């Protein structure tokens, strides 16, 4: 995160900024947005080519769930809602929980945020064809995987760097917070809106059963992620999540599924899966039938047996030419 807070801000943005700022800034993101933060004053043009909310950590320390995020043209979070940009984030769990799920006007979907390489969270949007003048940011995050403090940042069009616009402190995780960016009538750093919108009632992964049963569910029962995908992938148990956190992890819908409690496994091809479904560097020649040999470009051949969970020998082998 930025090592220095800009010395001044554009005239249409508030001069009130946090007295200190996080020490590290994300160094990369999936959309190749510049991650450096300017130490000088940003351009005074009306609007900026990107906006995001940034958090140094979350309540759990490893995940941040955001159900809804909107950028508005008016300071009271009304008017034009800017949604025609490219969603960007620090990282996500995959399987339909990418950053675009926070901008779909559906609080039953969510961004399943993960840390970037500098252990920070951020989610936002960049705009290719216009400078966007955001005057208010509204977001709703999870009560378990939520945060207590965010920083609104903008992407300066001149030097391709992010700078801090306003800090939102004392956020109550699981309640909607509106953060005005210009001439606020109330200080957004003190408390959320008077009548916060609570996040939907959620179940958690413990509803599947104890820890061992969640493991069995992910590895054996959750199944294939996308039936229509060219290369099949299946849900797997995520050993990186601490036991206590996994049991408490919120689910998007009333009934937990693989998107909620598991991770998305590898795309299964002849280059990484054998005839038993076990992960291997490549399909072995002794797994081919007599008179057949391992084909070339194994990474281009998807597994097809048992819905793609394991490779059929004909997926990965070709008949030898007669001499």
Lowest mean pLDDT among 5-9, 41-45, 140-144, 174-178: 5-9
- Report the pLDDT value the prediction gives residue 18, as an integer from 0 to 100: 38
Instruction: State the pLDDT confidence band at 252, using cuts at 50, 70 and 90.
Output: confident
Residue 285 lies in a domain: no
- How long, in residues, is the chain? 323
244 domain residue, yes or no = yes
Q: Please give the mean pLDDT across all residues of the chain.
A: 80
pLDDT of res. 1: 41
Predicted TM-score (pTM) of this structure:
0.50
Determine, yes or no, domain membership for 307: no
Residues 160 and 229 in one domain: no
Q: What is the pLDDT of residues 66-121, one digit of tens each?
A: 999 999 999 999 999 998 899 999 999 988 899 999 999 888 899 999 999 889 99
85 and 3 in one domain? yes
- Name the residue among 203, 193, 181 with its Cα closest to residue 134: 181
Q: Please count the structural domains in the chain.
A: 2
Q: Which of 7-11, 241-245, 294-298 has the lowest mean pLDDT?
A: 7-11
pLDDT of 128:
87
Percentage of the chain lying above the pLDDT 70 cut: 79
Residues of the chain with pLDDT > 90: what percent?
47
In a domain, 143, yes or no: yes
Domain contains 20 = yes
Instruction: Lowest mean pLDDT of 25-29, 91-95, 274-278, name the range.
Output: 25-29
Place of tokens 């148990």: 237
DSSP string across 163-226: EEEEEE-S--TTB-EEEE-SS-SS-TTT---SS--BPPP--BGGGT-SHHHHHHIIIIIS-BS-
Buried b (16+ CB within 10 A) or exposed e, 60-96: bebbbbbbbbbbbbebebeeeebeebebbbbbbbebb
How far out from the chain centre does Cα 128 lie?
A: 21
Co-location of 66 and 188 in the same domain: yes
Give kind and range of the element (H or E) at residue 260: helix 258-261
Residue 202's pLDDT is 61
Mean pLDDT of 6-13: 40
Domain coverage including residue 169: 1-199
Q: Which of 249, 264, 279 is the last residue of a domain?
A: 264
Confirm whether 215 is domain-assigned.
yes
What pLDDT is recorded for position 188?
A: 39
Q: Check pLDDT > 70 for residue 7.
A: no
Tell me: the pLDDT tens digits for 169-228? 889 999 999 999 974 433 433 334 444 444 455 688 999 999 999 999 999 998 998 888
Q: What is the pLDDT of residue 36?
A: 45
Q: What is the pLDDT of residue 190?
A: 38
Domain identity same for 85 and 101: yes
My answer on whether 21 and 76 are in the same domain is yes
Boundary-marking domain end, from 172, 199, 226:
199
Does 131 share its domain with 244? no
Same domain, 97 and 243: no
Q: Which of 157, 178, 199 is the last residue of a domain?
A: 199
For residue range 127-138, list pLDDT tens digits in order.
987 899 999 999
Say if residue 36 is in the same domain as residue 54. yes
One domain for residues 223 and 188: no
Task: Note whether 149 and 258 are same-domain residues.
Answer: no
The answer to whether residues 61 and 83 belong to one domain is: yes
317: in domain? no
Q: What is the 3-state secondary structure (H, E, C) of 296-318?
A: CCHHHCECCEHHHCECCHHHHEE
Check: CB of residue 171 under 8 Å from CB of residue 178. no
50 found inside a domain? yes
* pLDDT average, residue stretch 60-65: 92
Distance CA 209, CA 186 (A): 45
pLDDT (0 to 100) of residue 150? 95
For residue 89, what pLDDT is reported?
A: 96
For residue 261 the two structure tokens come to 């409690």
Same domain, 139 and 1: yes
């Amino acid at each position: 995160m930025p090592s220095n807070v800009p010395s001044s801000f554009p005239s249409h943005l508030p001069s009130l900024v946090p007295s200190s700022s996080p020490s590290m800034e994300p160094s990369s993101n999936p959309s190749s947005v510049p991650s450096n933060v300017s130490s000088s004053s940003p351009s005074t043009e009306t609007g900026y080519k990107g906006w995001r909310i940034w958090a140094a950590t979350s309540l759990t320390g490893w995940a941040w769930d955001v159900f809804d995020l909107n950028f508005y043209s008016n300071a009271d979070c009304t008017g034009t809602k800017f949604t025609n940009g490219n969603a960007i984030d620090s990282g996500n769990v995959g399987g339909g929980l990418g950053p675009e799920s926070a901008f779909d006007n559906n609080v039953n979907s969510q961004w399943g945020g993960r840390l970037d390489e500098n252990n920070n969270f951020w989610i936002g949007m960049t705009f290719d064809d216009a400078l966007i003048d955001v005057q208010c940011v509204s977001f709703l995050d999870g009560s378990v995987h939520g945060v207590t403090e965010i920083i609104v940042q903008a992407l300066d069009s001149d030097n391709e760097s992010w700078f801090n616009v306003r800090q939102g402190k004392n956020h109550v995780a699981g309640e909607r917070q509106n953060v005005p960016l210009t001439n606020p009538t109330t200080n957004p750093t003190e408390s959320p809106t008077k009548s916060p919108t609570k996040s939907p009632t959620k179940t958690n992964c413990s509803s599947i059963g104890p820890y061992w049963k969640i493991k069995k569910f992910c590895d054996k029962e959750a199944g294939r992620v996308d039936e229509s995908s060219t290369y099949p992938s299946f849900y797997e148990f995520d050993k990186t999540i601490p036991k206590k956190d996994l049991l408490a992890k919120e689910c998007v819908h009333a009934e937990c599924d693989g998107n909620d409690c598991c991770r998305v496994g590898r795309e299964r091809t002849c280059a990484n899966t054998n005839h038993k479904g076990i992960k291997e560097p490549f399909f072995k020649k002794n797994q081919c039938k007599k008179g057949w040999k391992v084909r070339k470009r194994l990474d281009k051949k998807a597994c097809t047996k048992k819905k793609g969970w394991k490779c059929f020998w004909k997926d990965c082998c070709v008949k030898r030419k007669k001499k």
